């Protein structure tokens, strides 16, 4: 579930930066960062 969100965000960052920004604002950049760190493990 977490990976799905991270994949969506990575996709959104490339395709739709404004959507990505709204997600960062909604979830908080530290939460996004944590999700990405979890994915990298």
For residue range 11-21, list pLDDT tens digits in order. 878 888 887 78
Decide: 12 and 19 in contact? Cβ < 8 Å.
yes
pTM, two decimals, is 0.41
Q: How far apart are CA 38 and CA 17, in angstroms?
A: 22
Cβ–Cβ contacts within 10 Å for residue 26, how many?
9
What DSSP letter does each residue of 1-41 carry, written as one string?
-HHHHHHHHHHHHHH-HHHHHHHHHHH-HHHHHHHHHHHH-
pLDDT score recorded for residue 1: 64
pLDDT score recorded for residue 26: 82
Q: How far apart are CA 39 and CA 20, in angstroms?
A: 17
């Amino acid at each position: 579930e977490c990976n799905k969100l991270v994949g969506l965000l990575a996709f959104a960052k490339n395709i739709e930066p404004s959507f990505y920004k709204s997600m960062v604002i909604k979830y908080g950049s530290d939460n996004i960062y944590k999700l990405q760190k979890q994915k990298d493990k």
